[in-house]
Structure 1
């Protein structure tokens, strides 16, 4: 119990249904000269979800291989869904060659409008999955 200018404040954690129903909230009761009030405090929650690519994993893996090959990247250079071609060192000609390699590998044709919207491995993999599903339908 702490004393502040003649008034006493008591902080005691309480466990209630609210604590078990709402993760991240902790119920604390404050007493000041016999009057009580409630306060809630948010606790940081550990991340439980892993963010992953929306495209099929095998498509992403093939796109990563093609990008690595076209840009002659060393094996220790990470290439992931979020990898941007420009950050990997690709210029506009390299991007065109990557798109051509993807077309050849997957047996698809990428229209110029779609090709201009490809900036990351994820963009390419999602477009490939879309075009492959349209082709098989």
Structure 2
């Protein structure tokens, strides 16, 4: 459930097909998201799951898996 929602948020924000995004997809390299995209994606994830993600934690996010695992620990 978390994976599907996060994948949808990223795909929707970047205008991509969800099928092109997997757990091992990297946000900045594979999807070519810039820092503004990353901030907006994190804000959308925080809103969707009603959580706060500290900036220090965001710096550790490389792949979609990193984000999903963090969100799951917060729910």
Give the equivalent residue in structure 2 for 1:131.
74
More helix by share: 2
TM normalised by structure 2 equals 0.91
**Higher-strand-fraction structure:** 1
Count of residue correspondences:
74
Matching of residues 108-127 of structure 1 within 5 Å: 108-127=51-70
SS in 2 for 1:110: coil
Give me the whole-angstrom Cα distance separating, in 1, the residues matched to 2:71 and 2:18: 26
Moved over 3 A (4+): none
Gaps in structure 2 of 5+ consecutive residues? none
How far did 1:92 drift?
1.0
Matched with 1:82 is 24
Bigger relative contact order (CA 8 A; separation at least 6): 2
Aligned to 1:92: 35
Q: Secondary structure at the match of 2:56?
A: helix
Change (3 A) 1:72 1:112: same
> Aligned partners of 1:76, 1:64: CA distance in 2, in Å?
6
2:27–2:64 contact (8 Å) kept in structure 1: yes
- Paired with 2:59 and 2:34, the residues of 1 have a C-alpha distance of 13
Q: Deviation at 1:78? A: 0.9
